[in-house]
Amino acid sequence: MTGTQRLSLTEDLTIYHALEQKNHLLDALSGSDVLELDLHQVSDIDTAGLQLMLIAKRHPDCRVRFVNHSPEVLRLVDLANLGGALGDPLFIAAS
């Protein structure tokens, strides 16, 4: 394992990209002790994306932190009430 790695997700976290994103995440998880997933470029997310986030968060060999949440990610995490399960600080702008 290589310590901390940062990965910027550049594809949407949707059912249409789920398999590709899952394989990408699993590769990154297997090569790191700590993985920071930068979500600022995620412009679309659905429940398949939330499942990928939960899979990553529960990986037994790597600690995962989600950073730079896009507004779309924040909205869905809030709607699904998964902020606590994902365990990262979320900054939701007042609307």
pLDDT of residue 1: 54
pLDDT for residue 94: 43
Average pLDDT over residues 82-90: 80
pLDDT band for position 85 (50/70/90)?
confident
- Judged on CB neighbours under 10 Å (0-12, 13-18, 19+), 29 is buried
User: How much is the pLDDT for 43?
Assistant: 96
Looking at residues 75-89, what average pLDDT do you find?
Answer: 87
* Rounded (5°) CA angle 3-34-42: 125
Nearest to 49 by CA among 11, 93, 81, 1: 11
Instruction: Decide: helix, strand or coil at residue 71.
Output: helix
Q: What is the DSSP string of 3-54?
A: SEEEEE--S-BSTTTHHHHHHHHHHHHHT-SEEEEE-TT---B-HHHHHHHH
- Contact by Cβ (8 Å): 44, 72: yes
pTM of the model: 0.86
Residue 90 has pLDDT above 70, yes or no: no
Contact 66, 34 (CB under 8 A): no
